[in-house]
Amino acid sequence: MAGDALRCPSCGSLHSPAERFCARCGMPLVHASRGDVDEPVTAAHERARKIKPQFTEGQLVRVAGARHQAEAEFVQGILLEEGIPSMLRRSRGFDVPDMLAAGPRDVMVPASGAGAPRPVLLAAEIVGEQTPSSAVERPGRLLAGLLAAVAVVAIIAWVATESLT
């Protein structure tokens, strides 16, 4: 088992080959015989070590929106720190050239990790407390506002016609 044993690169504890993450600190385990575990090979390798495998399954689902590329990359970095992989997509309906960083972006995550970003983004105050059901209330408020405006215009028109007679 010594040749097959896995070791945590963070705390150094040994684990069986069936485990993938350290029970103490949550780091991905590496082979105990490997000596170069202090530094990841590349920046992409370092990002990949942060991703939790349970969040990598399924179709991409939109979990947040951003006004431009820099804001979207900021949200993507927050999600990566929590182990949630994400991808950016240009939002539909905007005719900003692809070479520019301007224009809104959608932050997409795999379906298996769709529930995990909400608490993270709420804690970072990226998204509001609003639930999708509260978005349904907006047409009702809009209708009430329009009816109030029509009533005010009708009263003004009635007062104007009464003063002429």
Report the domain count for the chain. Answer: 2
Report how far apart the first and last C-alpha atoms of the chain are (Å, whole number): 103
CA gap 155, 42 in Å, rounded: 71
Q: Are residues 3 and 65 in the same domain?
A: no
CA gap 20, 8 in Å, rounded: 10
What pTM was computed for the model?
0.50
% residues pLDDT > 70 (the chain): 78
Residue 23 included in any domain: yes
Q: Are residues 13 and 58 in the same domain?
A: no
Q: What single-letter amino acid sits at 23?
A: A
| pLDDT tens column, 24-61 | 877 788 877 655 555 545 666 666 677 777 777 888 88
Whichever domain contains 75, its CATH number is 3.30.70
Residue 46 included in any domain: no
**Residue 130 pLDDT grade (very low, low, confident, very high; cuts 50, 70, 90):** low
Q: How far is CA 97 from CA 66, 102, 104, in A?
A: 17, 8, 12
Give the other-Cβ count within 10 Å of 25's Cβ.
Answer: 11
Residue 47 included in any domain: no
Q: Are residues 24 and 68 in the same domain?
A: no
Q: Say what the pLDDT of residue 18 is.
A: 84
Domain range spanning residue 13?
Answer: 1-39
Is the pLDDT score of 110 beyond 80? Answer: yes
Residue 148 included in any domain: no
Residue 157 included in any domain: no
